[in-house]
Amino acid sequence: ATILPQVLTDGDKAPADQRQILGDWCWARGVELAIEHNLPFKIHTGYYAGNDRMPVDRIRSGHLTPLLAKYLDCRFVLMHIAYPYSGELVALTKHYRNVYADLCWAWSIDPFSSADFVRRFLHAAPINKLFAFGGDTGWPTSAAAYAIQARRWLTRALQAEVDEGLLTEANAIAVASRVLHDNQMDVFNVEAKKRACLADAG
C-alpha cells in the first residue's frame, strides 16, 4: 500500500526493488483480469522496433516461464516469434498448454527466419497454437503491406512443405486457413463475444 504513492511520486528515482514489486503486481492483476473476462493476454517478446535500445538479454520468451506456469488458466499469446530466440518459443508453445505464438510482424523483421519458424512449429507444436499474422501498427498502409508480406512468405513456407512431401496441398491449405483465421477466432472466442455483445445490446 505504501509502495504505489512512493513510485508515483519518485518515478525512476524510486528504489528499483519497489518498482519491481509494483510492476509484478500490475502484471499479475492484468493476468487475473484476463482470466476473469476470458480474454487472452498478449505479451511482446523478442525484437524491438526502432534502433539503438534493444537489451538483447531481456527479450527472450523463456524469461516468462514463472508467469506462464503460475497462471495456467490464462491464455498467453506471445508475439513476434521472440526473434531471434524463436526456437525457445516453439518449445514453450509445445510445453505449456496455455501458450500461443503470434508471428505479428515477424515477417517484416526477418522473413526467412519467420518461414523457418512456421516450418519448425508445424513439426514440433500443435498447429492450433500458431497465429501467422497480427498487424500491430497504427498505419493502415503498413497493416495492408504486412498482411501481403505475411501471405507471400507463409505460402513459401507451406509450398516448401508440399515440395518436400511433408504436406499435401490440401493439408497446406487447411493449415493456412487455421493459422490465418481459425486459431485466432477460437482463442479470442470471437463468436461468443459477438453473441454476448448482441445480447447486451438487445
Condensed to tens digits (0 to 9), the pLDDT of residues 51-101 reads 898 888 889 999 999 999 999 999 999 999 999 999 999 999 999 999 999
Question: Where does the pLDDT of residue 106 fall: very low under 50, low under 70, confident under 90, or very high at 90 and above?
Answer: very high
Q: Where are the domains of the chain?
A: 1-37, 40-201
Has residue 180 got a pLDDT over 80? yes
Percentage of residues in the chain having pLDDT higher than 90 = 71
Q: Please tell me the CATH code under which domain 40-201 is placed.
A: 3.20.20.140
β partners of residue 41: 76
- In whole numbers, what is the pLDDT of the chain averaged over residues? 93
Specify the pLDDT at position 168.
Answer: 98
The pLDDT value recorded for residue 5 is 77
Question: What pLDDT digit, counting tens, does each position of 111-126 carry?
Answer: 999 999 999 999 999 9
DSSP state of 139: -
pLDDT band at 18 (very low <50, low <70, confident <90, very high): confident
Q: Averaged over 142-167, what is the pLDDT? A: 96
Q: Give, in order, the Cα–Cα distances in Å from 15 to each of 3, 7, 12, 26, 28.
A: 10, 8, 8, 17, 20
Confidence of residue 1 (pLDDT cuts 50, 70, 90): low
User: What confidence score (pLDDT) does residue 136 get?
Assistant: 73
Measured CA to CA, the distance from residue 48 to residue 51 in angstroms comes to 8
- The pLDDT score that the predictor gives to residue 114 is 98
Identify which of 177, 196, 148 has the alpha carbon closest to the alpha carbon of residue 37.
Answer: 196
- Cα dihedral 180, 182, 184, 185, rounded to 10, equals 140
